[in-house]
């Protein structure tokens, strides 16, 4: 066998679907966890600086933000390991799928991994749960979008100060602060000046990046689901035909 044929044979055993899903998962999780963690830190700083004067008004929010940051650490570690496992499963089972075309012999380890539906079930459950995370990550984007739209309206109506003072963003309405928090809201030119700060712009873009990362991760999980389901179906078909040894 020549060098070219050997290379083509090796490349034919690469699980490209699982490989693409792994790259998507790594990039999505990196965006979601990295940008989400920093965005939460900047959000606490914005609330502390512009919307709450008393520590007791935002201490609960600070604890919630800290809790979510610990959850982010756990998510990053879990998805890193799980994506590696799924990629390894893809490498093991690609040879069994290729056997349909007479190219490879299936390995017993690959058949044992994919003969079980646990990877399909776990990945499907993760995809459903991550769909909720994806929807939840849209909430801060929605809040900052409304805030940015209000600031744009204020900039347009700068010639009528009496009108712009009635345009406000109340953090208490979004559940970020208790109703007795002071001031709890920003109005008029004060709000416009907040929107022009570096902290606000960075936080807004970080939440957008985290939202995009959540979407990429969801796409990766759906790709994993399709890949593992296909491998399982092929191995079941080969098992019924009596091809190869079973676990």
Per the model's pLDDT, the better-predicted residue between 162 and 51 turns out to be 51
Q: Give the pTM.
A: 0.83
- Mean residue pLDDT across the chain: 81
Averaged pLDDT for residues 50-70: 88
Nearest CA to 119 out of 245, 227, 236, 247 is that of: 227
Q: Are 57 and 182 in contact (CB under 8 A)?
A: yes
Residue written as token pair 């994993």: 224
Count of domains forming the chain: 1
* pLDDT tens for each residue of 1-34: 556 565 555 555 566 788 888 999 999 999 999 9
Provide the pLDDT confidence category of residue 156 given band limits of 50, 70 and 90.
Answer: confident
Structural domain of 221: 19-92+111-241
Q: 13 in a domain, yes or no?
A: no
Averaged pLDDT for residues 59-66: 90
The yes-or-no verdict on residue 240 having pLDDT over 80 is no
Q: 101 in a domain, yes or no?
A: no
Nearest CA to 116 out of 235, 245, 237 is that of: 235
The yes-or-no verdict on residue 109 having pLDDT over 50 is no
Q: 180 in a domain, yes or no?
A: yes
Chain-centroid distance, C-alpha 190: 33
Averaged pLDDT for residues 195-221: 94
Percent of the chain with pLDDT over 70: 77
189 Cβ contact list (under 8 Å, min separation 6): 154, 158, 161, 164
Q: Specify the pLDDT at position 165.
A: 80
Q: 163 in a domain, yes or no?
A: yes
The yes-or-no verdict on residue 150 having pLDDT over 60 is yes
Q: 223 in a domain, yes or no?
A: yes
Question: Using alpha carbons only, how large is the chain's radius of gyration in Å?
Answer: 25
Provide the pLDDT confidence category of residue 244 given band limits of 50, 70 and 90.
Answer: very low
Per the model's pLDDT, the better-predicted residue between 101 and 4 turns out to be 4
Q: 138 in a domain, yes or no?
A: yes
The yes-or-no verdict on residue 101 having pLDDT over 60 is no
């Amino acid at each position: 066998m020549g060098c070219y044929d050997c290379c083509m044979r090796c490349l034919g055993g690469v699980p490209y679907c699982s490989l693409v899903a792994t790259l998507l998962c790594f990039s999505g999780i990196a965006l979601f966890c990295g940008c989400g963690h920093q965005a939460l830190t900047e959000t606490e700083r914005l609330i502390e600086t512009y919307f709450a004067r008393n520590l007791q008004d935002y201490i609960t929010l600070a604890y919630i933000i800290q809790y979510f940051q610990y959850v982010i650490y756990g998510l990053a570690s879990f998805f890193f390991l799980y994506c590696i496992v799924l990629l390894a499963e893809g490498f093991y089972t690609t040879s069994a799928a290729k056997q349909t075309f007479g190219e490879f012999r299936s390995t017993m380890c690959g058949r044992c991994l994919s003969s079980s539906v646990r990877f399909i079930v776990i990945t499907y459950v993760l995809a459903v749960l991550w769909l909720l995370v994806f929807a939840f990550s849209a909430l801060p984007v929605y809040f900052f979008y409304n805030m940015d739209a209000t600031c744009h309206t204020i900039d347009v109506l700068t010639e009528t100060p009496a009108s712009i003072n009635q345009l406000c963003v109340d953090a208490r309405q979004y559940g970020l602060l208790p109703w007795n928090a002071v001031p709890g809201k920003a109005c008029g030119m004060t709000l416009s000046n907040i929107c022009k700060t570096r902290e606000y712009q960075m936080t807004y873009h970080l939440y957008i990046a985290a939202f995009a990362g959540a979407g990429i991760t969801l796409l990766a999980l759906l790709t994993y689901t399709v890949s593992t389901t296909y491998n399982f179906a092929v191995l079941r078909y080969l098992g019924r035909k009596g091809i190869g040894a079973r676990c």
